[in-house]
Structure 1
């Protein structure tokens, strides 16, 4: 399942343009001056906390894989999850675009079937949204009670509340109609597989029965995870730790340039900023930065250049650290189809 390199290149060009426009709007000289004020030891702490976030979410994935009978060590899970983040960060639409490739990495590293790996990463990514909405609600509730910060907090509140309502509703509807979803997915995948087999001589199109078997395996794996309370609690616990690490990394990035921000500011900014990861840009690059800056200016009471400098430090750790490490993992695993 190779990456669409043309789409990836186009995505990075779009991200570069978005970042360039963002730097122009906040002022390049002001941004560079703010970055020059960063304290190196604190900036290094941002990297350490970002590594903690990556390990926590890797353990959440490991927990889900364990429930599906695919045992994997914590160290290998961390390495594989770095590869997963690499796939998410170099494909358009973030996790949605990277999950098929991520499943390939996981299936080879954990020696499990592809549909099981796909169910594991889909379940882990879905569970990651649960604590993000709770953390965001804590932040917006604090600001709503203590401070009036205008329209941007209203937008952030609407985004968090919409997620908090939409996620359980979509999950409930999907669970109740899973048989119809399964049949519909077979009806879409089987013709698509035949089309690929027709125009790619080296690939043999699977029979409809084989497609049905794989789709059934995917839904069975998701059902196993969804009905295992111990797995759900452990995975959500690791996910919550990861979100708090991300928020801490942003707080430290602000502190590195001399800003002591309210904790609630980063609790709001991080989960709302993550919503921008669904943009067509690779890993949300450019979109997430714009949202974080727009929120930090009113929530932390700082200038756009100062907010941008903190976001550069934060995203340098959250985006580029796993991208660089994950690229090495993909190469080491020998997944030449990625």
Structure 2
């Protein structure tokens, strides 16, 4: 792990530690000690089920372009990608190229096809996320009593998210538009480095063509849409349920609407490429927003710490544990990301 990434992680942990000190470590510790262990076990089981559903959804996109790989092999690839997303300050996107690289190498498939399956898999998340952002804006107005600027910021995020999704989809399906975009980037690259431009020009054009062909196959595959979109809604529903169970373990019946709103806002914060996995920023925002909604700061902090131990740290540890399974090449690829 490079020094920069390590320092950013320590900075994130420092932010969280500061909030814990401000709230009171004794109060937070007391809230955690009162937690029902069986509920916490249930929250962990829900997280494991989510891993399985993520794997199943990715399997839908890989089978659509005839990439033959078993789910028991997709699962560790997925976990490595999730861990890299958590541990790199890349807006939760650093793990996708590594996932595609490992899938292409393991299945002997073209890299552009493998990358298309990863992008399609992530793209399926857009549908439930947009629905939840709309819900969050309503909940923020009615329940969270957020400042007006924050509600406006959420509305802007929604518009930008939809615009980016439509643009990316159009670029993936329209070859002429995709070519224009990639050539625009290549012209910028040429101004920076003539040598690098010559090296990557034809490779980039061919890669975009292969990527577009794969995306067209998946978008026209009814199984991807009819199976993948409901799976995405189920996954997001289970993520919110996991948080609800953590609150229930602390003997707090937090409204599902509040949990969903905070979950969406914290996810948006986590996409900002400042700290690895939004470490510190996400945790702090969750604590503040739960407190805004009327939940005591000590319980807000306790639930956030426990929830992040399950969703962030458990995922990161499992992903890193699977990394040696794919050999030295994958570990070298990771070292370039960190």
Q: TM-score, normalised by structure 1?
A: 0.85
Correspondences of 1:1-338 after superposition (within 5 Å): 5-138=2-135, 140-141=137-138, 144=141, 147-151=142-146, 157-174=151-168, 175=170, 177-187=177-187, 206=199, 208-279=201-272, 280-299=274-293, 301-334=294-327, 335-337=330-332, 338=334
Deviations 1:140-183 (A, max 9, x none): 53575xx544125x566545543433233223334164332122
Aligned CA distance change for structure 1 residues 86 and 178 (closer, same or farther; 3 Å): same
- Seen in structure 2, the aligned counterparts of structure 1 residues 143 and 6 have a Cα distance that, compared at 3 Å, is closer
Q: Which runs of 5+ in 2 are unaligned?
A: 172-176
Checking the alignment, whether the CA contact within 8 Å between 1:133 and 1:163 is kept in structure 2 is no
SS of the equivalent of 2:252 reads coil
**Whole-angstrom distance in 2 between the partners of 1:95 and 1:224:** 26
* TM-score, length of structure 2 as denominator length: 0.85
Distance 1:252 1:155 in 2: 31
| Contact 2:189/2:196 (8 A) holds in 1 | no
Cα 1:25/1:130, change in 2 over 3 Å: farther
Does the CA-based 8 Å contact 2:182-2:204 persist in structure 1? no
Matched pairs, number: 324
Q: Deviations over 1:225-251 (max 9, x none)?
A: 334343133222222111111101110
Provide the C-alpha distance between the structure 2 equivalents of 1:142 and 1:333, rounded to a whole number of angstroms.
Answer: 44
Residue 325 of structure 1 and its aligned partner are, at CA, apart by 1.2
Counterparts in 2 of 1:148 and 1:16: CA distance versus 1, 3 Å: closer
Deviates more, 1:162-171 or 1:181-190: 181-190
- Rate the CA distance shift 1:84–1:191 in 2: closer, same or farther, 3 A: farther
Distance 2:75 2:180 in 1: 35
Please give the secondary structure, in 2, of the residue aligned with 1:138: helix
For structure 1, the 5+ residue unaligned runs are 198-204
Matched-pair contact (CA < 8 Å) for 1:127–1:239:
yes
